[in-house]
Each structure stands twice: as C-alpha cells, then as structure tokens.
Amino acid sequence: SNTNNSSKFSYTKLDLKKRLQITDLSFSYFEKEESVLKNINFELKKGEILGIIGSTGSGKTTLIDLMMGLLEPSQGNLKIDDSILTKENFQAWQKQISHVPQSIFLSDASIRQNIAFSIESAFIDNEKMINASKQAQIFDFIDSLPEKFETKIGENGVKLSGGQRQRIGLARAFYKNSKVIFFDEATSALDSVTENKVMNSINSLDSDITLIIIAHRISTLKVCDRLIRIENGELIEQGSYEYFKNLLEREAQYV
C-alpha cells in the first residue's frame, strides 16, 4: 500500500502509556540569543501530578510550551513513551492534551458551547457536561442562572468574573477528557476556598490523568506528587511538596 504524507499524519496516535521524558532540552527564541532553557532533564510518569515553580521569567511557561509541542527545542528532545515529539506528530499529541492558561479564550456564545469547545451542538453530551462543570466547581453558579447552560457570556466572557472564566476553562479540559492537562496559573483568580475545592476535584480525577501545574501560590501545589524548580532556565532542584513548602517558607520571595 502506498503511504502518502497526509495519511501518515492522520494515523499517528500519541497516547501516553508510561512516561514523558525530557532529555537535554534547551531552547532559545533566536539563534544567537541566550537560551531561555538550558539542558533540562526530567521524566514524568503517567498519572503523576507535577508542579513547576520558579520566579517570573525563569522559563516555566516556555517549558510547558515545549512540552505541549507549541515550540520546537533548539537542542535535546521530548519523548512520549518511545516517540520523539516532532513536526510530524505534534498534532496527534495535542489531541490528547488540554491547556488551561491563566486567561482562557472564550467565545461570544453560550456556556454550553464554551465548555464543549469546538464540538457541534448535536454531539454535546449533557451528562458529561454537568459532571465536568461540577468537577470545576462551577455547576452551582450555572444552575442558578435563569438560562443555565444556555446563558450567553458575551465577548470573551465579559459577563463573567475572572474566577468564573477560569472555572469554565477547567470544565472545558475535564469535558475534553484529556489524559494530560497543563495548568498555567489556572486558578490564580480564584479565592482560596474555591481554589481548594478545585484542587481537591483535580486530586480525585482518574489516576490515569497526568497533570502539570505552574503556580505561584505554594498552597496550590499541595496535590503534586513532585515539584521541580526552574531558575534562569535551569532545573535547579526537585522534591516533594513538603520539601519546597519548608524551603519557600524560609525564602519567602519565591511565593
């Protein structure tokens, strides 16, 4: 059978079965410029919750952009099990993952359409939507609205608070059933009680789901199995939440 390129692209499936491995990863935006990330090495087991900390500008967001296949490494690579992430297969990887950034993109449509993002109305699974919104701690709010899930939220969610927008973003990731979810300051607009509830529901997600969390508030990272700390583009240490909590209480400037 002759395999042309288009079919090769569409059949690639990148399911994370065992581990995600990062080897000698370096990145600079321009050839002559100093590296934003230098020689990063670590691995992440399927089902693990990894926290990434470091001061502003340390390279944390660049690291997750590389992990999501949005940027290509200048050196080194990222492997999903035995497959190196490349231009050819990154779209297959992106089908498996969700990104919940600090500011969520919302369309001028109903809450329902924003949670089941890019899915045609007829195919939206309502039970799954209700579950996703409960996990994201936003169901009660939606249910209190006269039009419930049909409520229109305005241009980029202008009718919602920052915390409500973030929870719609979380509900979207849960609805998509992603096996790997990247949270980049995704709960920064929530008050601590709501954030706690969101983190607890994240903790009770299927143990198959792998999570990567960037956060400034150390309390957000309680759910992590392990934390890595990036400073000036280098991975300088990794350890448990307890280890970093003690460290950060001593070095309050990082929190």
pLDDT of residue 185: 79
Q: What is the pLDDT of residues 123-140, one digit of tens each?
A: 888 899 999 999 888 999
Q: What is the pLDDT of residues 176-218, one digit of tens each?
A: 888 898 988 777 777 778 777 777 777 777 778 899 998 877 7
> How far is C-alpha 219 from the chain's CA centre?
18
pLDDT of 96 strictly over 60: yes
pLDDT of 7 strictly over 50: no
**What rounded mean pLDDT belongs to the chain?**
84
pTM over 0.85: no
In whole angstroms, give the CA distance from residue 133 to residue 145.
14
- Which band of pLDDT confidence, cut at 50, 70 and 90, is reported for residue 255? very low
pLDDT of residue 212: 92
- Which band of pLDDT confidence, cut at 50, 70 and 90, is reported for residue 107? confident
pLDDT of 170 strictly over 90: no
pLDDT of residue 251: 62
Return the half-sphere exposure (C-beta side, CA atoms, 13 A cut-off) of residue 59.
25
What are the Cα distances from residue 215, in Å, to 13, 133, 218?
30, 22, 7
pLDDT of 156 strictly over 90: no
For strand 49-53 and strand 75-80, is the pairing parallel, antiparallel, or unpaired?
unpaired
In whole angstroms, give the CA distance from residue 174 to residue 23.
29
- Which band of pLDDT confidence, cut at 50, 70 and 90, is reported for residue 247? confident
